[in-house]
Structure 1
């Protein structure tokens, strides 16, 4: 049985060549089947299909890596509505020690930093927002907060950046040194915390 992915391509199918195209152009391969998997079940289905037919299987992650399945194999890759880069950094305790002089770095107990990045020159922004919502929704039970260095987008960009105690301390510093809120074109903390 063919994998369940809606984006399944064989040689000669419209879209097959587009699925093979990527940033890594130094290698040529002709897999028997390409599966644009959108979730873990579609990846499982593609791997089961390859195993059931004695075909090699490979993964092509957005075209940057070395080729996945060689000629005659099954290649699975991202089937997300837009190209995405997911980066997971193990922090290894790098933030755990509080400095002698308090600073603005929150959530020192974080064990990982997860980023989801998408190009914004063409994709449907609603699709990007929906993709981010699904990705971070899965991680919500494990999330301790957001990283100031990677807080992009509109709206209240400071929401979730600081725990209550740190936010109160930073608002006090802002009230003391910038009561007119002149420096507000960044991740603004208003004087008084409002």
Structure 2
């Protein structure tokens, strides 16, 4: 089994930069339904601004999580989840939460707590120190692809530009990882 520790001073290769640009174009195709000029529209809603804040905060999280030394991924995840619970508590109290759970609500909350919350943080915290924050970040572009796939499975429609955008994202991620896999194989052989 190979491991590869990213070097902070390593310069990105042309294929990595090209893969990043291509995957970002694919993300824009998916999000704008093929109308790339929608990005320049001024009519963003509050949800769009929140999502921008999420991306910025996740970028800092990734960069900082790569610098944590001596704390195992499960510990980093536990600390992150515990602090998140404390920080979210005032918002939870203010929300006037309705405590009448249906079975579907209970299942939904348990699913969200286990998989996208704790599970994704745990796997992210395991992966970032192995591949480096810069390399791990490219995989965030796949979120739009998986969101579109799940949307289709739930019965929502999809248009041609979203399909093309998803393919472009996957190709961009592939290009970025191609150099990474080649380096890992070469390191293993030496």
Q: TM-score, normalised by structure 1?
A: 0.21
Q: Which has the higher helix share?
A: 2
Q: Which has the higher strand share?
A: 1
Pair member with larger Rg: 1
Q: TM-score, normalised by structure 2?
A: 0.21
